[in-house]
Structure 1
């Protein structure tokens, strides 16, 4: 990528940790205060934000990979977790009924969750690309903005 004049970009881990924590707070709040939200947000925000948090987490752990690879990894992780909900053995259901286990593993498979995960990861990719353009624009453009 550097050969065509693009700068090499590495994610700022402090920023990504802040994004992860903020997204977690928003996701948990969407569940806790869902009765105050419009139905669409109440039903789908939590899963969408969960996938967005996974995207930020991939970016945090692998700070030098491309946005596309981070998005693919986040989708694969999210989809794997969702499909794992088809497996209902007693030992994993015990894990699911703990707070952390429920937040990470979920409880039951829903096709709509796959759509939410896709939307969340795409949002993360678009936000990241926007940040990338903003943070890496040439100095003379920054003064004219």
Structure 2
């Protein structure tokens, strides 16, 4: 996978859209099939992290963005094995719960990988569109 200078405006917009979809998926959780209840929100969270990391490190190779994003998501998930009063109090807040989660789940690790893979695919599409547009000029 090639590296390139990402357009921060595009990546910011994508990050915000994915964030909105993730929050919306939490609100619609009761109306979804079980498969989506299990994977959608966490996959979107990982996708948001992927595009956030890509936004911050705009020249980094896609592979490195994916690995950093996956490591970040996995570390957050592993941190859910730790329960002390101070961190559980943070998790009880809306924002703390969204960022840190509550309970460790192996299924979440799968969902994060799915989200990162989707991010790689979207980035490849964006790269191809940008390359195509630059050669047409």
Query: TM-score, normalization: structure 2?
Result: 0.93
Pairwise CA distance, 1:129:
0.8
- Listed one character per residue, the Cα deviations across residues 102-137 of structure 1 (whole Å, up to 9, x for unaligned) are 111000000000000000001101110111011112
Structure 2 unaligned residues grouped into runs of 5+: none
More displaced, 13-22 or 33-42?
Answer: 33-42
Larger Rg: 1
Are the aligned partners of 2:50 and 2:69 in contact in 1 as well (CA < 8 Å)? yes
| 2:102 is the alignment partner of 1:107 | yes
Pairwise CA distance, 1:38:
2.0
| Matched residues, number | 136
- Cα distance between partner residues in 1 of 2:24 and 2:33: 14
- Equivalent of 2:135, from 112, 130, 139? 139
Query: TM-score, normalization: structure 1?
Result: 0.88
Pairwise CA distance, 1:42:
2.2
- Equivalent of 1:60, from 52, 55, 62? 55
Partner secondary structure for residue 29 of structure 1 = helix
- Equivalent of 2:125, from 119, 125, 130? 130
| 2:104 is the alignment partner of 1:84 | no
- Cα distance between partner residues in 2 of 1:25 and 1:79: 22
Pairwise CA distance, 1:43:
2.2
RMSD: 1.7
Structure 1 unaligned residues grouped into runs of 5+: none
- Cα distance between partner residues in 1 of 2:32 and 2:104: 23
- Cα distance between partner residues in 2 of 1:125 and 1:77: 16
- Cα distance between partner residues in 2 of 1:64 and 1:9: 5
Higher RCO, Cα 8 Å, sep 6+ = 2
- Cα distance between partner residues in 2 of 1:22 and 1:139: 28
